[in-house]
Amino acid sequence: MSEQQSEVTILPRDQHQISRKQIDEDTLKVLYRLHRNGQLAYLVGGSVRDLLLGRQPKDFDVGTDATPAKVRRLFRNCFLVGRRFRLAHIRFGKNKLIEVATFRRHPSEDELPDDPDEHFHFVQNVFGTPRDDAFRRDFTINALFYNIADFSIIDHVGGLKDLADKVIRVIGDPLVRFEEDPVRMLRALEFAARLDFSLDPEILSGIEAKKELIATAAPARIREEIMELYRHGVAGPVLRQCRELGMLPHLLAGYPGTDESIALIAKIDQRTKDGGKIEESFAIAALYLRLFMDSCPLTRETHITEALHKANEIIIPHCRYFSIAQGIRHSARELLVGCFRLARGRGFKGERRFLQHPLTPQSLELFRLWAEVHTELAPQVEQWQQAIKAPAAPPAGKKRRPRRRRPRKPQQSQSRGQQPH
Ligand code: ATP
Ligand code: MG
Averages of pLDDT over each 10 residues, the chain, 421 residues: 74 96 96 98 97 94 95 95 84 94 83 68 76 96 98 98 98 97 98 98 98 96 96 97 95 86 97 94 96 85 87 95 96 96 89 91 96 92 87 54 56 43 54
Partners of 167 in beta bridges: 198
Phi/psi for 303 (5° steps) reads -85, 155
Nearest Cα residue to atom 18 of ligand 1 = 45
Cα–Cα distances in Å, from 176 out to 136, 179, 181, 207, 215? 12, 5, 9, 11, 17
> Is 117 an active-site residue?
no
Cβ atoms of 287 and 265 within 8 Å: the answer is yes
Residues with CB under 6 A from ligand 1: 45-46, 58, 137-138, 142-143, 181, 183-184
Q: What is the pLDDT of residue 413?
A: 41
Nearest Cα residue to atom 30 of ligand 1 = 137
Cβ atoms of 28 and 58 within 8 Å: the answer is no
Amino acid at 383: Q
Nearest Cα residue to atom 12 of ligand 1 = 46
Q: Which CATH class is domain 1-113+123-165?
A: alpha beta
Of the listed ligands, the closest to the CA of 172 is 1
The Å distance, Cα 25 to ligand 2 centre, comes to: 17
Q: Which atom of ligand 1 is nearest to the CA of 143?
A: 20
Please report, for the chain, how many H helices and E strands are present, in that order: 21, 12
Cβ atoms of 153 and 124 within 8 Å: the answer is no
Q: Exposed, middle or buried by CB within 10 Å (0-12, 13-18, 19+), for 305?
A: exposed
Alpha helices (runs of H) in 150-234, residue ranges in sequence order: 159-165, 174-180, 183-195, 201-210, 219-231
The Å distance, Cα 265 to ligand 1 centre, comes to: 24
SS3 content of the chain, % helix, strand, coil (to 5): 55, 10, 35
Choice from 43, 142, 179 to test ligand 1 binding pocket (greatest atom count within 8 A of CB):
142
Cα–Cα distances in Å, from 7 out to 1, 16, 79, 153, 154? 10, 19, 36, 14, 11
Of the listed ligands, the closest to the CA of 184 is 1
Cβ atoms of 413 and 399 within 8 Å: the answer is no
The Å distance, Cα 219 to ligand 2 centre, comes to: 20
Nearest Cα residue to atom 7 of ligand 1 = 46
The Å distance, Cα 54 to ligand 1 centre, comes to: 18
Nearest to 82 by CA among 113, 50, 49, 104: 104
Choice from 50, 102, 120, 138 to test ligand 1 binding pocket (greatest atom count within 8 A of CB):
138
Nearest Cα residue to atom 16 of ligand 1 = 45
Nearest Cα residue to atom 5 of ligand 1 = 46
Cα–Cα distances in Å, from 226 out to 32, 76, 193, 292, 313? 36, 36, 13, 20, 21
Distance from the Cα of residue 326 to its chain's centroid: 20
Cβ contacts of 73 within 8 Å, gap of 6 or more: none
> Is 162 an active-site residue?
no
Q: What is the pLDDT of residue 298?
A: 79
3 state DSSP class of 395 = coil
pTM of the model: 0.87
Q: β-strand 167-168 against 152-155: which pairing, if any?
A: unpaired
Q: What is the pLDDT of residue 417?
A: 39
Give the span between the Cα atoms of 193 and 340, in whole angstroms: 32
Instruction: Give the active site residue among 50, 65, 133, 138.
Output: 138
Q: What is the pLDDT of residue 126?
A: 83
Q: Where are the domains of the chain?
A: 1-113+123-165, 280-389
Nearest to 48 by CA among 106, 130, 107: 130
> Is 155 an active-site residue?
no
